[in-house]
Chain A
Amino acid sequence: MSAASVRETAVAPGRRGVRIGPVGLAWRPRVFWCTVTALVTVLVLGVLGVAIGSTWIAPATVVRALLGLESGPESFIVTTLRLPRVLTGALVGLTLGVAGALTQTFTRNPLGTPDIIGVTSGASVGAVAAIVLGGGTYSVSAVLLGGGIPVAATIGALIAAAVVYGLGWRGGVQSYRLVLVGIGVSATLDAVTSYLLVRAKITVATAASQWLVGSLSSTSWSSVWPLLAVAAVAVPLALVTSAALGIGQLGDEVATGVGLHVQRHRLFVIALAVVLTAAAVAAAGPVGFVAFVVPQIGLRLAGTNRPPLLLAGLLGAVLVLAADLLARSAFPWQVPVGIVTTVIGAPYLIWLLVRHRKEMTR
């Protein structure tokens, strides 16, 4: 946590009660303003992401085109070519960020990313199997990217998560058991992926490894819709379960004591995290580090005792959009976005950790 003095002013007199319809919340200004700032950043990066490309389109034109006030070639470039990529990037970041915040909270462990439930490894096996076994050349795989690979990745993710949950079950699931089983299952699945890659022809293997890094280069509106549908359902559900998450992290006994149905809550949270992650991975491959780093950044910016869900999601969108902008514009060739998210996400987290230690020792 951040320095005590910061928390005192942020939590004590600053906690305000609001009631919006059925949702009553005690909100904290610091979380609120971080969230607003993140949202504005997402919008700015989104517009920039559409503006920047092989031909520059002025942001004003971009906004007009988005509002349907522009016709002609700019409108086509904006809505057909560039917007799907930006939207996919933002949604991938949002879903991964929320999923990471969910799993880190319920495992009470910053290392508890959705990967530990086996989702990513399962999706990878599915996608690589579809690429390697289903295709021959890269162009065939590219066609598959339109429908085959996302479906295969989703199926792989859901099966892997179900296996981890099933093996972790012992009259209920405990998070540490789930983590251990998840690591085991993931390792096994990664071995399968490696085997598929080794057996594949070199061109196919290259296409598969490109998918494995996480990339937005082959996105279209068909990758936006399923992702948008999942996000529209699962993100609000995650926000609704926020209070229960706060109770759940006090431990099973305390949570039961104040009336939380712990096992049902846990299954619900896991299911949400799995669906969110599966949707993101199906759309863009396993974009590295977002689900791990973004909730931790949100936690430190907001000064809360667990990653704020919405902030984590928005920061995820910021990270992926910024990474994609960099990947497209700062290099002479297109770098897969997953590499850039890791390269800029990890140092930022390290910087936050170092700064935090300085605050503590001061």
Chain B
Amino acid sequence: MTHPGATIADAPVPTAGAAPGTDPAPPVLEARGLAVGYDRQPVLRGLDLRIERGTVTTFLGANGCGKSTLLKAFGRVLRPQSGEVLLDGAPIRKEHGRSVARKLAILPQSPVAPAGTSVLDLVMRGRNPHQSWARPWTAEDAAVAEQAIAATGLTEVAHRDVASLSGGQRQRAWIALVVAQQADTLLLDEPTTYLDLAHQLEVLRLVRRLNREQGSTVVMVLHDLSLAARYSDRLVVLHDGGVVADGAPHDVLTPEVLERAFGLHARVVADPVTGAPMVVPESDEHVTGLAGA
């Protein structure tokens, strides 16, 4: 099958983590000529992208641009229409589900736990890839689950029903499941949805800690551009089935890119605290002018 649309922009070699020069170790995740979508309607057309080990990468783009779709394809939740996804250089589809799950953990967008599920119940499910007929539940699994709960600051509510927790705690409970999985790579689909700013920061700080302290590779989808810039090594902006910008936050978050990918007229200024690029929409007169254009 040929790709109906040409690749818009090949991913430039990301700065973080990639060894220059001769053939480096394969990237953690790689999409090759990836076309995915729903009901034969491709959302992404012939996309190539490499995710390097130990980096935090965030996919950005307007609603419906295919950020979540790309993440789902990386997480083998969606089957590609053409092209393939490689995990550690090998086709992800050919590997056994549990074996993949030991390397790659997924947090979908707004997951729901059945009523009556305690935090501990939930987090223990993260140990599934490490269990089998020959190796059932062990003390190690219990210890890992306990650590994951402690790392996400949920020890005090470990036995509470997930449904009874606050939004921030609930999201951390799901992250704890992913942490308990002990996979090196985490795919997080909008981990900050429905959270207030303080809780958004809480989740993103946790994500960065996992990256810094455990060397986890993180690939996530976020909507808040400034937070994405602040907590990511690399931003990938998707638009119209392909990548329009890819690189360090400073290089990617430019008024031109924002205009092209979001149709957003905005200025980019330095965040007074960290110096990371911060997006400030232009005044409303500009917007009315734009609407006529």
Contacts and interface: CB of A to CB of B under 8 A. Distances in A.
Interface of A: 1-2, 4, 7-8, 11-12, 15, 17, 19, 22-26, 108, 171, 243, 246-247, 249-254, 256-261, 303-306
B97 A4 contact: no
A247 B113 CA distance: 10
Interface string B60-96: 0000000000001001110100000000000000001
Contact of B125 (A12, A19, A171, A250): A250
Question: Taking each of A12, A24, A253, which has the highest tally of chain B beta carbons within 10 Å of its own beta carbon?
Answer: A253
Contact of B76 (A8, A15, A247, A256): A256
A259 B98 contact: yes
A25 B133 CA distance: 11
B289 interface: no
24 contacts: A4-B164, A7-B118, A11-B120, A11-B121, A11-B159, A12-B159, A15-B120, A22-B133, A250-B125, A251-B108, A252-B77, A253-B72, A253-B75, A254-B106, A254-B177, A256-B76, A256-B97, A257-B77, A258-B125, A259-B101, A259-B102, A259-B129, A305-B113, A305-B116
Contacts of B120: 11-12, 15
Contacts, number: 113
Nearest to A171: B79
B199 interface: no
Interface of B: 72, 75-77, 79, 96-102, 104-108, 111-118, 120-122, 124-126, 128-129, 131, 133-134, 136-138, 142, 158-161, 164, 177-178, 181, 187
B136 A249 contact: no
Chain A to chain B: the 6 pairs with minimum beta-carbon distance, closest first:
A24-B136, A259-B101, A257-B106, A305-B116, A1-B116, A253-B108
A261 B97 contact: yes
Given A259-B101, A259-B128, A7 B161 contact: yes
B261 to A, nearest CB: 25
A259 B99 CA distance: 7
B98 A25 contact: no
A254 B104 CA distance: 12
Nearest to A265: B97
Contacts of B124: 26
Given A12-B120, A171-B79, A258-B181, A26 B161 contact: no
Given A254-B106, A257-B107, A261-B97, 8 more contacts: A12-B159, A25-B136, A243-B131, A250-B111, A251-B111, A256-B97, A257-B178, A305-B115
